[in-house]
Amino acid sequence: MKFIHIADIHLGVKPDRDKPWAKERENHSWQAFAEVIGQAKEEQVQLLLVAGDLFHRQPLLQELREVNYQFSKIPQTQVVLIAGNHDHLTPESCYRTFQWEHNVHFLKEEQMEYIELEGLETRVYGLSYWHKEITKSLYRNIHVKEGDYCNILLAHGGDEKHIPFRNKDFESTDFDYVAFGHLHKPSEIVKDKVVMAGALQPIDCNDFGEHGYFQGEIEDHVCQVQFVPLHYCEYVPLNLKVSQEITQGALFEFVEEHVKKAPSYQKFKITLHGFCDWGTSLIPEELRELEQVVQVTNQCKADYDFENLKQQYGQQILGRYIQALEKMPQDEITKKALYYGVEALLAE
């Protein structure tokens, strides 16, 4: 049986709101979702697993219709989905009464249930979030029911407020495959068996690295999966250590060149650090104007004139502190101790 496992599509999310490409980013979740449907059709997968947070917030009826339309294009594929914390089932949620296509199965109970997929000899277990948070470890010690089936767990969580678990809870699981969602970074918790799909595309500029979905095959209880990246957007951290010697012009050009060489779907989150004082300089603002730069954080610290401070504070604690550190080996640790010590003493 061939399958695709996606999670955290977050339809309706609006990343990079204050950027010129905001409108484009808003479409990415829908485009990526439609691409997965196209892939499911082309690869003739029998099962599509949607592991929660299909929507960024409560879906509107119209949005459910759009999603259902996409699912209607793959009638040969069984679709199983659960609600996550973002799109949890409120009492008024449109999710509760929506009429899905025949191939779509929504596990909407708050307690674990399973759906038996005819013709596939497969049972998919899962539950939906009815609240924003679930602090109980509901996935610990769950076992499959009797019968010769391929057993899959569709799950959502992994941090302390969202069904916490430890990786070792799953080391000897009964399930043939566990399809997780919630944490945005894709990872194989147990190789080819327990998989966090990661967000289909990054939701904000802290979701670094590649995003996409997992495609796999289960045959005689043996599963194999493969990560398939989608490149609508990828955020890349760019940490630059600067020193007093570098000029603003050189730094600007360096970043500009670096960005120019990168593929256009990459967006950079720049952090400047090091000991450097540009006074009232505008360099972080200027970098922010560059194409493909999503954020600039200036963590540079002012460089002190220690010689001058030593003279000025002579026999006071500050002066003696500088003298004492000058006698120590001049390595990175001493430099940091000097810097932070002077900063603290000056603040007093």
Residues that bind Mn ion (CB under 5 A): 53, 84-85, 182
Of 182 and 193, nearer to Mn ion (C-beta) is 182
CB of residue 84 to Mn ion, shortest distance in Å: 4
Return the half-sphere exposure (C-beta side, CA atoms, 13 A cut-off) of residue 189.
Answer: 24
Query: In whole angstroms, how close is the CB of 67 to Mn ion at the nearest point?
Result: 17
DSSP 8-state secondary structure symbol assigned to residue 56: S
Residue 42 sits at φ, ψ, to 5 deg, of -65, -45
CA distance 160 to 59: 25
Tell me whether residue 86 or residue 193 sits nearer to Mn ion (CB atom): 86
Question: Cβ closer to Mn ion: 83 or 300?
Answer: 83
Percentages of the chain per state (helix, strand, coil), in multiples of 5: 25, 25, 45
CB of 168 to Mn ion, least distance (A): 22
Q: Which is nearer to Mn ion, 88 or 123 (CB)?
A: 88
Q: How far apart are CA 70 and CA 277, in angstroms?
A: 54
Q: Which residue has the tokens 């010590």?
A: 341
> In whole angstroms, how close is the CB of 284 to Mn ion at the nearest point?
32
For residues 272 and 292, give the distance between their C-alpha atoms in angstroms, rounded to a whole number.
17
Could you tell me the two tokens for 183? 């944490």
The residue whose Cβ lies closest to Mn ion is 182
Q: And the tokens for 225?
A: 């999966």
Cβ closer to Mn ion: 53 or 234? Answer: 53
Q: DSSP H helical segments within 269-305, as ranges? A: 283-288
- Among residues 120, 148, 138, which one has the least CA distance to residue 52? 138
**Is residue 291 classed as helix, strand or coil in its secondary structure?**
coil
What are residue 47's phi and psi, to 5 degrees? -140, 130
Q: Which is nearer to Mn ion, 78 or 85 (CB)?
A: 85
Q: Which burial class, exposed, middle or buried, applies to 28 when counting CB atoms under 10 A from its CB (0-12, 13-18, 19+)?
A: buried
Give whichever of 181 and 212 is closer to Mn ion, judged by the CB atom: 181
The distance of closest approach from Cβ of residue 264 to Mn ion in the complex, given in angstroms and rounded to an integer, is 29
- For residues 117 and 80, what is the distance between their CA atoms, to the nearest angstrom? 10
* Least separation in angstroms between CB 156 and Mn ion: 6
Closest approach of Cβ 39 to Mn ion, in Å? Answer: 23
Q: How far is the CB of 239 from Mn ion (least distance, A)?
A: 28
